[in-house]
Amino acid sequence: MAVAKDVTDLEVYRLAFDLQQRVFVISKTFPAEEKYSLTDQMRRSARSVGSNISEAWKKRRYPAHFVSKLTDADGEQSETCHWLRTAVACQYLSPSKGTAIAADYRHVSGILNKMMQNSSSWCSRYANE
């Protein structure tokens, strides 16, 4: 496995970025009255997943900060899943599409949790660079 030199080398970051773009596209179809509520909330939380991963990457020299930012990313993916369920309940999004995107977010969550459980290897690697 190659050593990541930049956050964009991380599979979890690339997955989060892809998901944020998928959320953006599907949220374009939501009713106009949702622009400043559901649409905005869903887009913000989806974008926060990758941004928190990016911040965590730069905070690897501080293990507690690294884990904290990954925890924030995991919380944001969970919030996005809540908004996906809401969109399905409001019939703005098909159940199958909502389920598929939520499954991809669960995959991101699994990777984040493995990174948190093994934070010492991520942080010690940075200290040696």
21-64 residue pLDDT tens: 999 999 999 999 999 999 999 999 999 999 999 999 999 999 99
3-22 residue pLDDT tens: 788 999 999 999 999 999 99
Domain that holds residue 120: 7-127
The domain that contains 120 carries what CATH number?
1.20.1440.60
Mean pLDDT of 97-109: 98
Within a domain: 88: yes
Which pTM was predicted?
Answer: 0.93
1 pLDDT band, cuts 50/70/90, is low
Within a domain: 105: yes
Q: Report the greatest alpha carbon distance in the chain.
A: 52
Within a domain: 55: yes
Cα–Cα distances (Å) from 50 to 12, 18, 76, 78, in that order, read 8, 9, 9, 13
Total number of domains in the chain = 1
Within a domain: 2: no
Within a domain: 74: yes
